[in-house]
Structure 1
Amino acid sequence: MKLIMLYSLTILLPVIIIAFVMPSYYVKIITAETEKLTDATLVGLSENIQTYLDDLERVTVSPYTNNEVMNSLKQKARGLNTQIDNYSKYKADYTLYHTLPSLLVNLRKDILGTLLVAIDGSVYYNDSSSQLTEPRNDYPYTEQNWYREAVTANGRVSFVDVHPQDYLKLPSVPEVFSVARLIKDPDSKQPLAIIMADADTIILDRIVRQVSVNVNSIVTITDKDQRLIYSNTHLSQEDLKQFLKSPTHIDYNKQSYVAVSREIPTSSWRITIWLSKAELASKVHWMRLTGAVFAAGGVVLAFFLFFAYSRTLLTPFKEMIGVMRQVQLGNMNKRFSVRGQDEIAQLGNVLNRMISQLDELITNEYLTKLKLRNAEFRALQSQIHPHFLYNTLNAFVSLNRKGEHALLERAILSLSGMLRYFLTTHDTCSLEEEFSSIQKYGELMSMRFSDRLEITITLDPALASFRIPKLLIQPLVENAIIHGVEPCEQPCKVEVSADRLPNINDRECMVIRIADNGIGFNTFEQIDDQHIGLSNVKERLELAFPDNHEFQLESRLGHGTTITITISLNNEEPA
């Protein structure tokens, strides 16, 4: 209690009041006032940009003011449906090549140019700088987003975000923003052309630099889809997404920003000024410096006070930390030596009780998980029985339909022998027992398929006693016969083998291989319910040999399927 009181009086109160409370209060006031001034600045800035966009919009309605231009566009549209004479074509082209540029020549000089795409595919471009810039005739104009947006707007103005001016024959392709509009026949409302006025983003930079903003502030202009149109600093689209994701808490280039924005009504563009919090906070930097000096002095004083009491207080806590580390390493028998009846002694008693309870909980949790895993293992193994019976009974039905009653009787007797093996209570078996069951199953299937099926089984004698989950391999052999051999019209062969591999990375392994040359399947397609045995085997392998096995499946249509199971021999029994 003495240390807490001394620390509070010498450090906490001066640091909180001087270094945090007062500077934060003044920064909040300065930020609010700056936001108001910035909002007023945005009003003028948005009006200037709106005026420029209005000028661009007026460019797009200029064809309506000249009857010759409109008649020429109507001639172009009429030529799509009816044949017009060469003179009319020449007159229409002449008007669009000469009259239209003269119509646009007295507009703003800072507009780069105007592109007009007639409904018949003819393209005309007027360069405001009086250069003979030509449009590209092989350019897919109708596939561009700005063309589609203008058609969708149906005569209203469409504001196009920054895009490359790659539809012109230029040595280098600049970035521009544009205003587009669909020109329609005033009488029939038939589409005649798409006109688009291009402007350089430098114009936006000039407009922005006419107003005064803080040095470290960032100015951005975005369209209605939050795509970046302009930024007074290098700002990628990913950086902009970071800004827009959390506008109230923005960290960029190790600085924090606060956003002030305003929307330009007609275009739905949004102009935003991101004010640097560091620049605002720098105005009260002297207050933070004073608080830091007080804090440093308090820390030094507290250090000497704490050092005086360290022998009495720190030693028991160090012992507790040592006990906790031993418990963390798995030594649940470690306990703290309690001395006295003060608060530290009470804490030590609580720590000892906690370790005892933790030891009990860990033991109970381990036993619960062990029982749960055994239950899952038996549930997965029980799935094999109906799966096997389903396929075997289908085979019996096939023999019965063929009228092979003698083979059917032998098959039923073989099945009864196999069921005696299946219904034993053991969850595991030796490889020799599993391969013997597979041998009987192969004989059963050979009765059905006759000359179409040949089964070869090979077992390394050294692996005969290795224990595996019962019926682990049999479902894979079933799949090979039912899904690989049965649909194939040619004689097929199924090979089952278990071999010991030499030491690999100081680990001795066993490899079980099931291969057939049947029809195969596409491993990229989802495996359906008919392959339940395959997923069952994977799950049982994971339960029996966690982190000590590999399962590989290779199959090609028309070439057969090969399954390879690799199990480490370091663990003699399944988990």
Structure 2
Amino acid sequence: MNMGYSFRNISLRHFIISSMLPILALFCALSFYYNWKALEFNKDVYAGALDAGASALNMSFAELEQISFTPYLYTDISRMMTYMKNGYLEAGVEPPDYLNLAQLETNYTLLFTKLLHASAQDVRSIRFYPFGQGRGACYSINRDTAGLSHTQVSWQTVDTLYSYTVPYGSKAVFLGLDGAQDTGGSFLLLRTIKDYDSGKELGILEIEAGTSRIYDSLDRINITQNSGLLLTDQTGTVVYSAGSATPDLLAQAAGSSAYVVQDCTLERAGWQLSLILSVDDFRVSTAESVAIIFVVAALAFVAGFVLYRFQSASAVVSIDSILYAIRQLQDGNLNYTCKVAGNQDFQAIADALNQTGQKLDALIHTEAEARASQSRAEYLALQSQINPHFLYNVLNGFIALNRMGERQLLESSILHLTKLFRYICNNDDTTTVAREYDFAVQYLELQKLRFGDQITYTVMVDPAVADIRIPKLVVQPFVENCIVHGMEADDTPIEIILHSMLRREENGGQTLILEIVDTGVGYDTASTPPGVGLTNVMQRLSIFHERSHYEIRSTPGKGTTVRILLEMNRETT
């Protein structure tokens, strides 16, 4: 034997050549690692930028909070707001003579005007909506106009503003305005102002600030083409968006591996700053480097494959012959003879395959005979199963009838049980529809010993299907379920209807349908798996015919319908 062409040497040569594959795998791993590190680096960079933007926003919110706290720092402001609540500034109202409202109004206007123009944040106006007698009034100081202006608003406007602040007590609430970014606009700070001494609510203080400082902080964050930056307030209103960011994209990105979502909650305002990063954008940025890695890997793979084909050509023909022989065995052609030329190792494999095919052919014939006998035994065993609890209850019923002297009813019941066991003990694996329904009647009559008039039943056997042969004991398990599971805990009466019919199919064939209907409690079929009894029925149906099956439709509180379907494409009569 030429060891240079032995099977072992060829396998070793193939192994050495195939070591190129780990090299290719290493190249692929490096490219993926490079992409991953680039993504992690960009995530860290954006996380830092997000924190910086959040810090700048929190500083802006803190400054507005300081302005909104003014009524608690200056007595004149708090007193003026009290008089606004009492309606003393309303047209036609004469305030008490001892109140110096003119001086208080001047102090109120000057202080808030100074705060308007001294704030680094672009504060546009400060408005106060009083409660009480002054409800419906709006006292505002605007950056572009002088003095304190007085306008009327609806009560609903005041109630709407109050609905935003009431969950937060005296804390400040920040709200974005719809379309604020498009109009270059503003956002609001709302705070419920209370009297420092009495704790009574005086009204709503509203500070409107421009968003330019917010936009300046967030515009510094560079967003890639398919990424986005989204700022929303507590109500979900979009205050700022950049790139492709929308609430829909944020919801989509939360469960997608194509995006990385970084969230930051602005503690002072309760707003949400979300950065949506597109993984594809980062991959595009590293595509050139990854492309070089893949090109090198592809060239290495092609070179290795060419060398493999060149050096293993002599073994390929023999291996193909052996593989073809294996496929023949898989397809059931056990008499196929494998022939190879040259290497003795391959010849030994071919001889072993030929011997295996011959032994498998003999074994399959033996196994087929054994399985036929086993299937017959399994079928007889499956059809002989009956619920022992039922038998226990029937015998107890016989004892009770005997003690009560119900001799005639006892004799009738014993005859029902005798017919029941004669039917079960019959070794036939099939029966007729009429006999199967008669067996169900015997079973129901015995159940009526226990439940009496709580069980009523109707049996309708179509004469056209009465003599059709079916598997034994496929109806009784469903009848038993009607009683065991269909009756309420308080034994509410139940009606059971047994029906049979033939249905003509579109292909010209016919299907026998055995229907069992009850008016019981019903159940949720999706959450209740079939029990042992119904599994038994399915096994016997599949042994009888591979396409025989049953269907269950049940509605809680309305009852259950079972349909057993047997195709009439075999001899069943």
TM over 0.5: yes
The match for 2:58 among 19, 32, 50 is: 50
Larger mean Cα displacement after TM superposition, 416-425 or 334-343: 334-343
Residues 115 and 123, structure 1, Cα contact 8 Å, conserved in 2: no
Query: Compared with structure 1, are the counterparts of its residues 423 and 197 closer, same or farther at alpha carbon in structure 2 (3 Å cutoff)?
Result: farther
User: Is 1:551 the counterpart of 2:551 in the alignment?
Assistant: yes
Residues 332 and 355, structure 1, Cα contact 8 Å, conserved in 2: yes
Query: Compared with structure 1, are the counterparts of its residues 408 and 342 closer, same or farther at alpha carbon in structure 2 (3 Å cutoff)?
Result: same
1:72-105 C-alpha deviation (Å, 9 max, x unpaired): 87799999xxxxxx989xx9xxx99xx7999486
Deviation of 1:235 (Å): 2.8
- Letter of the 2:568 partner, please give it: L
Q: What SS does structure 2 have at the residue aligned with 1:570?
A: coil
Deviation of 1:565 (Å): 3.0
- Name structure 1 gaps, 5 residues minimum: 80-85
TM-score by length of 1: 0.62
Aligned twin of 1:565: 564
Aligned twin of 2:6: none
Aligned twin of 2:156: 137
- Name structure 2 gaps, 5 residues minimum: 1-11, 88-92, 146-150
Aligned twin of 1:186: 196
The match for 1:220 among 208, 221, 229 is: 229
Deviation of 1:466 (Å): 1.2
Count the aligned residue pairs. Answer: 523
Q: What SS does structure 2 have at the residue aligned with 1:314?
A: helix
Mapped to 2, the partners of 1:432 and 1:320 lie a distance apart of: 58
User: Is 1:207 the counterpart of 2:217 in the alignment?
Assistant: yes
Mapped to 2, the partners of 1:34 and 1:237 lie a distance apart of: 23
Q: What SS does structure 1 have at the residue aligned with 2:482?
A: helix
Deviation of 1:509 (Å): 0.8
Deviation of 1:137 (Å): 1.3
The match for 1:251 among 229, 251, 258 is: 258
- Letter of the 2:244 partner, please give it: H
Residues 455 and 494, structure 1, Cα contact 8 Å, conserved in 2: yes
Residues 480 and 561, structure 1, Cα contact 8 Å, conserved in 2: no
Mapped to 2, the partners of 1:184 and 1:235 lie a distance apart of: 40
Deviation of 1:143 (Å): 10
Mapped to 2, the partners of 1:122 and 1:373 lie a distance apart of: 91
| Superposed counterparts of 1:98-247, under 5 Å | 103=112, 108-109=121-122, 137=156, 141=160, 146-147=164-165, 149-151=167-169, 155-158=170-173, 179-189=189-199, 204-209=214-219, 211=220, 213=222, 215-216=224-225, 218=227, 220=229, 230-237=240-247, 239-240=249-250
Larger mean Cα displacement after TM superposition, 269-278 or 49-58: 269-278
Query: Compared with structure 1, are the counterparts of its residues 300 and 429 closer, same or farther at alpha carbon in structure 2 (3 Å cutoff)?
Result: closer
1:87-141 C-alpha deviation (Å, 9 max, x unpaired): 89xx9xxx99xx7999486565466886869599957776969898956718984
- Letter of the 1:150 partner, please give it: Y
Q: What SS does structure 1 have at the residue aligned with 2:57?
A: helix
- Letter of the 1:314 partner, please give it: V
Structure ID, larger Rg: 2
- Letter of the 1:205 partner, please give it: Y
Aligned twin of 1:83: none
Query: Compared with structure 1, are the counterparts of its residues 523 and 378 closer, same or farther at alpha carbon in structure 2 (3 Å cutoff)?
Result: same
Mapped to 1, the partners of 2:430 and 2:133 lie a distance apart of: 81
| Superposed counterparts of 1:431-442, under 5 Å | 431-441=433-443
Q: What SS does structure 2 have at the residue aligned with 1:417?
A: helix
Residues 394 and 446, structure 2, Cα contact 8 Å, conserved in 1: no
- Letter of the 2:72 partner, please give it: Y
Percent identity of paired positions between Structure 1 and Structure 2: 14
TM-score by length of 2: 0.62
Query: Compared with structure 1, are the counterparts of its residues 174 and 63 closer, same or farther at alpha carbon in structure 2 (3 Å cutoff)?
Result: farther
Larger mean Cα displacement after TM superposition, 314-323 or 379-388: 379-388
Residues 45 and 208, structure 1, Cα contact 8 Å, conserved in 2: yes
Query: Compared with structure 1, are the counterparts of its residues 474 and 337 closer, same or farther at alpha carbon in structure 2 (3 Å cutoff)?
Result: same
Deviation of 1:53 (Å): 1.8
- Letter of the 1:220 partner, please give it: L
Query: Compared with structure 1, are the counterparts of its residues 418 and 281 closer, same or farther at alpha carbon in structure 2 (3 Å cutoff)?
Result: same
User: Is 1:421 the counterpart of 2:440 in the alignment?
Assistant: no
Deviation of 1:384 (Å): 3.5
Residues 434 and 474, structure 1, Cα contact 8 Å, conserved in 2: no
Q: What SS does structure 1 have at the residue aligned with 2:243?
A: coil
Query: Compared with structure 1, are the counterparts of its residues 29 and 381 closer, same or farther at alpha carbon in structure 2 (3 Å cutoff)?
Result: closer
Aligned twin of 1:460: 463
Deviation of 1:412 (Å): 3.5
Residues 110 and 203, structure 1, Cα contact 8 Å, conserved in 2: no
Query: Compared with structure 1, are the counterparts of its residues 78 and 200 closer, same or farther at alpha carbon in structure 2 (3 Å cutoff)?
Result: closer
Larger mean Cα displacement after TM superposition, 502-511 or 213-222: 213-222
Residues 161 and 190, structure 2, Cα contact 8 Å, conserved in 1: no
CA RMSD, Structure 1 to Structure 2 (Å): 6.5
Q: What SS does structure 2 have at the residue aligned with 1:137?
A: helix
